[in-house]
Structure 1
Amino acid sequence: MVPTRAQSRADLGLAAVVFVGALISATLSAVAGMYGADQADMPLTVAYAFVLAVPLALRRRWPATVAVIVSAAYFLAVTLHIPEIYAGNIAMFIALYTVGAWSLDRRRATIVRIGIITGMFLWLVVVMFIDATQDLPDGVDESFSRAGAFSPYVAYTLLTILLNVLYFGGAYYFGERAYQQMRERRALEERTAELEREREVTAAQAVALDRVRIARELHDVVAHHVSLMGVQAGAARSVMAKDPTHAREILESVESSARDALSELRQLLATLRTPGGEPDTDTAPTTRGLAAIPALVEEASAGGMPTRFAVIGEPVPVPEVAQVNLYRIAQEALTNARRHGGPGATADVRLRYTPTIVELEVSNTGRMAAAAPGLGQLGMRERAEASGGTLELGARARGGYLVRVRVPRQDAVAAHV
């Protein structure tokens, strides 16, 4: 981890505060005579304050090194009777905390802290042992009485140990806790950034899917009606001289197909213009489902390709989306049959209900299409998958072409939820 400029400035300010605090503490302690005649001179005290404070300005960059330097300076200060321990205690606590909070090498952080804490406790035990076993010079009174099993001196010793345990334990614990919080915060930031990236990707995918949906709908509407009008117009031209009445009927069908195409395009545009993709109630398009397939068959027959329709099995409820997709697949299959089947082609449309699925089959007796799969076949496959079904298409062995789609029944879908 690299500290920010603000954190580096804060550490520089902390070092300055500790340096000034150490000088003030040392001056006051010297005046108070902390070590009596044995206390160190002021130049050594200033040097100690400098060594104690300056490394704290770099504590986040090299936490382990700073902790070792500060701890060593504190040890020498007490050993050399430098009249300053309070700022040293604060500096060492901060250094130990920083090792736990900022060191990325956790093994090294643990070794450094345990090593410093162990060394300090060994030093404390040695000092306490020497103090307990040495004889005081004549005429010097003890600060605490040593009389009794639980004397004031023993109580003072235990209090000293307890304070050191709380001191070093607190530095260790708070450092570990700060590191864990930092990791959790970083994980949260990474997750937030990941979610933001996923949101952007999802938005882009939604736009792409909308474009695909619009293209598919336009293809289904335009290709079907334009193809039908082309066939009807050709038929009208061929019989116009011989049978004007029949030609007029065919042209009326062309007009009707044109109106239907414009109506569907208008409905599609009304849906796209509505916020959220939901059409207004006044301009909502009529849902084209399985009930509209017979009209589609009649339209194909009127366009010059005899088409039969059959329903097999007992009709059951089918999800609305699946109905629309099945209708569009039938529409595309009949459009391709008229376009590629050739003269004399016929078609059969079968709607079959089974206990688990609804199957739509569109077959024709014309020649096999030589063209490569295009947007129409891709759209049919996408519609089948969108309804949770499967699509089969290809040339039949006995001639012609077959399109078969199977989608689950509504009650079968509900039974698996």
Structure 2
Amino acid sequence: MALSPDDWKRPRPGADGYRRDALVAAALVVASLGSGLLYRAAIDQPHAPWWGSLLWALVIAGSLAFRRRFPELVALIVGITFVVGQYVGIYEQLFANICLFVALYTLGAWSQNRLLATVERIVIAAGMVIWLLSVLIYQGLTPDSTPGISRDGLFSQFMAASLISIVTNLLYFGAAFVFGNASYTAARQREALEQRTQELEREREVSSRQAVALERVRIARELHDVVAHHVSVMGLQAGAARRVLGKSSETDPRAVDALTQIEENAREAVDELHRMLGALRQSDDTDASRSASTRGLEQLPELVADAEATGLPVTFTTVGTPVPVPSVVGLSAYRIVQESLTNVRKHGGARATADVRLRYLGSEIEVEVSDTGTGLNPLARHSSAPPGSAGAPGGLGQIGMRERAAAVGGEIVMEPKPRGGYRVRAILPVSPRPIGESA
């Protein structure tokens, strides 16, 4: 269950993140020491001994190595060290301010205790501003502390410099506060987006699996019609043969017994099919399932005519010498062409045309639907996923076409054409092969 914004805790970085913090801290230690040497040469004031400067640099910059592990503690240490350095003869300002800014920013960006982070930043910023104001007031009351700086007039040199210092510090602490909070908020939104993306991916996988299951149910229902029809015919023919043979006095009784057994087995097979798959007929498209076994290659011209009636220009061509095709194979070919034409109407664009071709290749048949559509075709997406998987390419229609081709041991290729449009080509064996057997 997703956490509310108040309950969310920003995860700590991994080992790589801590290593980067250590490298940044080491670089700031070196930079602070180098900058301290420059300030020693530039300021004519008593300075702290070298070991004091080294210790100061190690604390104010080195502690940043732990800034994302203990942001509250590090910000407090850096703030105290910053102030102490000013009173022990360490006048380095450049990298001291950078270290303090980084510590305050990290406190806002990574602290898991948001109330403590807010209070601590306000206390540090207020303390720094009060310290600055006290120094400015002292300098204003003791002109000897800043000789050579004019104090005459409302906007004197001293007043201008004081205002610049106040505004600079307010912007400095305000930026650390705002940017730290912005980083924390962005991390929270990023994690929420990642969680939503994962949820959508799971939903998509569930929808894909459901689509595969529904299509398999539909195929099973149609196979039930086809198989039940043929088994019933077998039983009727066996019964007729038994009655004819029974009227002949020269008929071997064993032949009559065998035919009787065939007839009984056929009846039992039909009854078993009805018992096992009868529940599949409870869906809303019962009427369509009843006529499923009547759909095949002979109905392709009707399908093309229906498509043309909806305004899609379609040409239909038959190549080769027609051969008898099993009902299951003919039904699969019909459904593949039907789904392909539906896709052209939906996504091909207003000016799309389609070409349907049926080729008899001896032991195989090939159905091809090619269009000149210019619209976005969903079948062109994710073409690398394995067929029938939850991440199968294309939409639900393509999943169904792949299932139908696989059900009769055939192959299907769906691809965009080099000069525009889309092509669906299925090769189906005249004698259906078991699923999984290579063509």
- TM-score, normalised via structure 2 length: 0.54
Q: How does 1:1-400 map to 2 (within 5 A)?
A: 1-33=11-43, 36-37=45-46, 39-136=47-144, 142-227=147-232, 229-231=234-236, 233-234=238-239, 237-238=242-243, 263-271=326-334, 282=358
SS at match of 1:136: helix
The 2-side partners of 1:16 and 1:219 are apart by: 75
Aligned to 2:254: none
Which segment drifts farther, 71-80 or 194-203? 194-203
| Structure 1, unaligned runs of 5 or more | 244-253, 286-417
2:382 corresponding residue in structure 1 = none
Q: Deviations over 1:6-40 (max 9, x none)?
A: 32222111111111111111111112225x13x32
Amino acid at match of 2:330: Q
Shift of 1:221: 1.9
Deviations 1:327-376 (A, max 9, x none): xxxxxxxxxxxxxxxxxxxxxxxxxxxxxxxxxxxxxxxxxxxxxxxxxx
Contact 1:271 1:278 in 2 (8 A): no
Native 8 Å contact 1:11 1:57 kept in 2: yes
Letter in 2 for 1:270: A
> Per-residue displacement from partner, 1:188-245 (whole Å, max 9, x unpaired)?
22223223333333332232222222211111222244235535653664577679xx
Q: Partner amino acid for 1:16?
A: A
TM-score by length of 1: 0.57
Deviation, 1:135, is 4.7
CA–CA separation in structure 2 for the residues paired with 1:224 and 1:276: 25
Q: Percent identity?
A: 43
Classify 1:199/1:134 alpha carbon distance in 2 versus 1 (closer, same or farther; 3 Å): same
Q: Is the 8 A contact 1:271 1:284 kept in 2?
A: no
Q: CA separation in 1, counterparts of 2:21 and 2:329?
A: 69
Deviates more, 1:201-210 or 1:271-280: 271-280
Answer with 1 or 2: which has the greater Rg.
1
Change (3 A) 1:275 1:163: farther
Cα gap change, 1:275 to 1:89, in 2 (>3 Å): farther
Q: Check whether the contact 1:271–1:277 (CA below 8 A) recurs between aligned residues.
A: no
Partner of 1:322: none
Secondary structure of 2:61's aligned partner: helix
Tell me, yes or no, if the aligned pair for 1:45 and 1:83 is still in contact at 8 Å: no
Aligned residue identity for 2:166: I
Q: Is the 8 A contact 1:117 1:168 kept in 2?
A: yes
3-state DSSP class of the match of 2:154? coil
SS of the counterpart of 1:167? helix
Q: Deviations over 1:289-331 (max 9, x none)?
A: xxxxxxxxxxxxxxxxxxxxxxxxxxxxxxxxxxxxxxxxxxx
- For this pair of structures, how many residues does the alignment match? 267
- Take 1:14 and 1:266, find their aligned partners in 2: how far apart are those partners? 68
Matching residue's letter, 2:107: V
Contact 1:221 1:265 in 2 (8 A): yes
Q: For each residue in 1:99-139, what CA deviation from the matched residue of structure 2 results, as whole angstroms up to 9, or x when unmatched? A: 111223222221121121111111112222222122527xx
Task: Output the amino acid matched with 2:36.
Answer: A
**1:273 CA displacement:** 7.5
Amino acid corresponding to residue 126 of structure 1 in structure 2: S
2: CA distance between counterparts of 1:276 and 1:93?
Answer: 63
Moved more, 230-239 or 81-90: 230-239
- Output the amino acid matched with 1:267: G
* Coordinate RMSD, CA, aligned: 3.4
- Show the counterpart of 2:5: none
Residue pair 1:146, 1:153 contacting (<8 A) in 2 also:
yes
The equivalent of 1:396 in structure 2 is: none
Distance 1:217 1:111, change over 3 A: same
Distance 1:226 1:184, change over 3 A: same
The separation in 2 between residues aligned to 1:83 and 1:263, in whole angstroms, is 94
Task: Say which is worse superposed, 16-25 or 77-86, in terms of deviation.
Answer: 77-86
Alpha-carbon contact 1:267-1:284 (below 8 Å) kept? no
SS in 2 for 1:144: coil
SS at match of 1:119: helix
Structure 2, unmatched stretches of 5+, are 1-10, 249-265, 267-292, 296-324, 343-355, 359-364, 368-439
C-alpha deviation, 1:260, in angstroms: 7.5
Change (3 A) 1:50 1:260: closer
Change (3 A) 1:51 1:213: same
